[in-house]
Amino acid sequence: MPTRPILISLLLLMQLLFSCQGDNPKKETHKGLPVVSKKVSKPSYDTLLRAFTLLQKDPLLSNASLGYLVIDVTAKDPVVVADYHAKQLMMPASTLKIFVTGAALEYFGKPVVPEVTVTNQMSVNWRSSKLLRKIGGKVYNSATTAAGAKAILDFWTTKGVDTEGMNFYDGNGLSRNNAISPKQLVDALYFMRTSPFFQEFYESLPLAGLSGTLHKAMKGSAAEGRIRAKTGTIGKVKSFAGYVVTVTGRKLIFSLIVNNFDCRVKLMKKKLEAVMITMAEI
């Protein structure tokens, strides 16, 4: 039978071991996107989480589908800040162009930069469809929408994006048969940070309050000049996906999609922009 001093020593040793284990949050692997466990909490995210909670409870979204994912990539390993139905496949509208233009830069390099810039800044549908077919021609020697869609899905799969369920019915986002999840968008944006053409891709995205389809959006707020994002709009669909450099210097990647809402697009746009402004204020 162990003596009392030995028992006390054993208990202290066990307590030390368990406390040390708690100092290192577990990492999960999400096919190329390592994410620190969401047990890591930061008080500075509280206002953003409250904004998302209010959005979820908004009566105008009672019959809608809402999905979002926000990650903080300030440190080496990305941290999930907020997620809601992040893996749900949704109609993405023109945020789909992120997959087309990102792949086009990787396949064709500098010569395609002007085309990518115009496509993302002004969300030009025919240019995006043309890029999709061009990729199909390069990869499968068939400049068709079907070949381009297959080539793009193959490309992003090789880059670590889980493309399961993803559907490219067209190359521009106009079809309601397109299906992409908020997480797939964030994963693609996360990968592009490692691309040799990241700067060109980043600068091709509209800048809040200053350029492209965001030139009038969020002017005079913390988001002006701090958010670069692709916009997406079709009937009862509104989406945003991109990058944020917050007022405190944090770097975020986000995707936000709403389908089948019961209000005018202009009103839904304002509601989503309010959340984006809160992101920039972190």
Q: What is the pLDDT of residues 94-135, one digit of tens each?
A: 999 999 999 999 999 999 999 999 999 999 999 999 999 999
User: Who has greater pLDDT, 71 or 14?
Assistant: 71
**How many residues in total does the chain contain?**
282
User: Averaged over 204-215, what is the pLDDT?
Assistant: 97
For residue 85, what pLDDT is reported? Answer: 97
Sequence-distant (≥ 6) Cβ neighbours of residue 56 within 8 angstroms:
66, 84
28-35+42-280 carries CATH number 3.40.710.10: yes
Quick one: pLDDT at residue 14? Answer: 43
Q: What is the pLDDT of residue 41?
A: 52
Q: Which has the closest alpha carbon to 71: 281, 277, 251, 218?
A: 251
pLDDT digits (tens, 9 = 90+) for 7-58: 444 444 444 333 333 334 344 444 545 444 444 456 679 999 999 999 999 9
Which tens digits make up the pLDDT trace of 122-168? Answer: 999 999 999 999 999 999 999 999 999 999 999 999 999 999 999 99
Tell me how far CA of residue 26 lies from CA of 40, 70, 72, in angstroms. Answer: 10, 19, 16
Average pLDDT, the chain: 88
Confidence of residue 219 (pLDDT cuts 50, 70, 90): very high
Residue 231 main-chain phi, psi, to 5 deg:
-100, 160
Is 119 buried (19+), middle (13-18) or exposed (0-12) by CB count in 10 A? buried
Looking at residue 44, what is its pLDDT? 76
pLDDT score of 39: 40
pLDDT (tens digit per residue) in 222-260: 999 999 999 999 999 999 999 999 999 999 999 999 999
Which uninterrupted H or E stretch holds 183?
A: helix 182-192
pTM, two decimals, is 0.86
- Whether the per-residue pLDDT at 265 is higher than 60: the answer is yes
**Cα gap 137→147, rounded to integer Å:** 7
Please return the burial class of 33, using the count of CB atoms within 10 Å of its CB with bins 0-12, 13-18 and 19+: buried
Q: What is the mean pLDDT of residues 62-86?
A: 96
Parse the chain into domains and list their residue ranges.
Answer: 28-35+42-280
The predicted structure's pLDDT at residue 43: 61
Mean pLDDT of 67-77: 95
Average pLDDT (59-71) is: 95
